Homo-oligomer: A and B are copies of this chain.
Amino acid sequence: MPNLYAMAQPLSKNVIRHLNSLKIKKYRYTHREFIVEGPKVVEEFLHAGWEAISVFTVNRDLLPLLEFEKIVLVSDGELKKISALQTPNSILAVFRMPETLPEEVTFNQWTIALEGIRDPGNLGTIIRVADWFGIGLVVCSPDCADPFNPKTVQASMGSLARVKLLETDLPSFFRLQATVPVFGALLNGTSYKEVDYPSAGILLIGNESAGISDTLLPFITKPITIPRYGQAESLNAAIATAIICSELSHH
């Protein structure tokens, strides 16, 4: 397929408009394209085998891995016009969104299930946490932030290139797989330090303010909590996920 982007140098208004439209979910899914920024994160996507459609950079030498014809050299001013970052970071790449869901969803390891994580930064941070602790699959309810939101992509620091994401209706998901226990992070439950973690299970994390909904409570086999020693009312959802993942990955 011809590279539509590369035809325009300097960047045409149409190209700038198109790239900016990818900051909006609707257009990302219409075009099935998303944006990744910064040499390090772009490199991680290329390295993990994702298909770059085009790469805009102020310095060609930053991308030794990439085929030459996909690179468009831009000025700092042009990069600023297309970047989603406050401080653009040398490279903006457009990648193709995967058409298919993860082929085999297996539960012989730990999986994270997220209900209504709305903040794109939180979602990206959770994906990064999953990647650090070797958790290969994150299942998201339909009302979670979009994994291809630029803020999610950047907060994941490249981990989105490796961790599998599955968007699905959580009640059906829990009904279909009854084989592994579901550990739910709640404000009341057994301390996460006092439970035995099997080698496979699902860690369920609820919405940033409302927590896990009543609809999902019946699917929890083990309610767990992070003991509080001070006065904060709650912990950030990504923080809670990380604390529990660090414990269960030791078992």
Chain A residues within 8 Å of B, Cβ to Cβ: 121, 125, 128-136, 155, 157-159, 162, 193, 226-236, 238-239, 242-243, 246, 249-250
**Residue of chain B at shortest CB distance from A241:** B239
Report whether B242 and A128 are in contact in the complex, using a CB–CB cutoff of 8 Å: no
Alpha-carbon distance A130/B246, docked complex (angstroms): 18
**A236 cross-chain contacts in B, Cβ below 8 A:** 125, 128-129, 155, 238
Nearest-neighbour CB distance to chain B for A128, whole angstroms, equals: 5
Cross-interface CB contact of A250 among B157, B193, B231, B232, cutoff 8 Å: B193
**Residue of chain B at shortest CB distance from A230:** B134
Alpha-carbon distance A238/B239, docked complex (angstroms): 8
Cross-interface CB contact of A239 among B125, B135, B234, cutoff 8 Å: B125
**Residue of chain B at shortest CB distance from A244:** B246
- A121-B121, A125-B239, A236-B125 given; A132·B246 CB < 8 A: no
Alpha-carbon distance A228/B231, docked complex (angstroms): 30
Report whether B232 and A159 are in contact in the complex, using a CB–CB cutoff of 8 Å: yes
**A234 cross-chain contacts in B, Cβ below 8 A:** 132, 157
Cross-interface CB contact of A246 among B125, B129, B226, B233, cutoff 8 Å: B226
Cross-interface CB contact of A242 among B133, B229, B242, cutoff 8 Å: B242
**A135 cross-chain contacts in B, Cβ below 8 A:** 230
Alpha-carbon distance A206/B236, docked complex (angstroms): 20
Report whether A230 and B130 are in contact in the complex, using a CB–CB cutoff of 8 Å: yes
Report whether A232 and B193 are in contact in the complex, using a CB–CB cutoff of 8 Å: no
Alpha-carbon distance A52/B228, docked complex (angstroms): 29
Report whether A235 and B128 are in contact in the complex, using a CB–CB cutoff of 8 Å: yes
Sample of 20 more A-B contacts, CB < 8 Å, known A128-B239, A239-B242 = A121-B121, A125-B236, A125-B239, A128-B235, A129-B235, A131-B231, A132-B226, A132-B232, A133-B230, A134-B228, A134-B231, A157-B234, A159-B232, A226-B246, A227-B249, A235-B242, A236-B238, A239-B239, A243-B246, A246-B246
**A159 cross-chain contacts in B, Cβ below 8 A:** 231-232
Report whether A229 and B249 are in contact in the complex, using a CB–CB cutoff of 8 Å: yes
**Residue of chain B at shortest CB distance from A209:** B40
Report whether B193 and A228 are in contact in the complex, using a CB–CB cutoff of 8 Å: no
